[in-house]
Amino acid sequence: MNITLGLPIIRTSVDHGTAFDIAYEHKAQTASYVNAIHAAMRLSKG
């Protein structure tokens, strides 16, 4: 998971980038996406 600092908004993203190499192959895992969302939620609570 990546966190971008120095912005006026909270920005998190998955650690694997766009993953075009596995797009449409049903190989993608949701854990990184879920972790990024949870981190953004924790950061928003201050």
Which ranges of 1-46 would DSSP assign to H, the alpha helix?
A: 31-44
- Can you give the pLDDT at residue 29? 81
**Region for 13 from its dihedrals, namely left if φ exceeds 0, alpha if ψ lies in -120 to 50, beta otherwise:** beta
Encode pLDDT of 1-46 as tens digits.
899 999 999 999 988 878 889 889 988 888 989 999 999 999 999 7
User: How far apart are alpha carbons 2 and 23 in whole angstroms?
Assistant: 20
Single pTM value for the model: 0.75
- Can you give the pLDDT at residue 15? 85
Strand partners, 2: 13
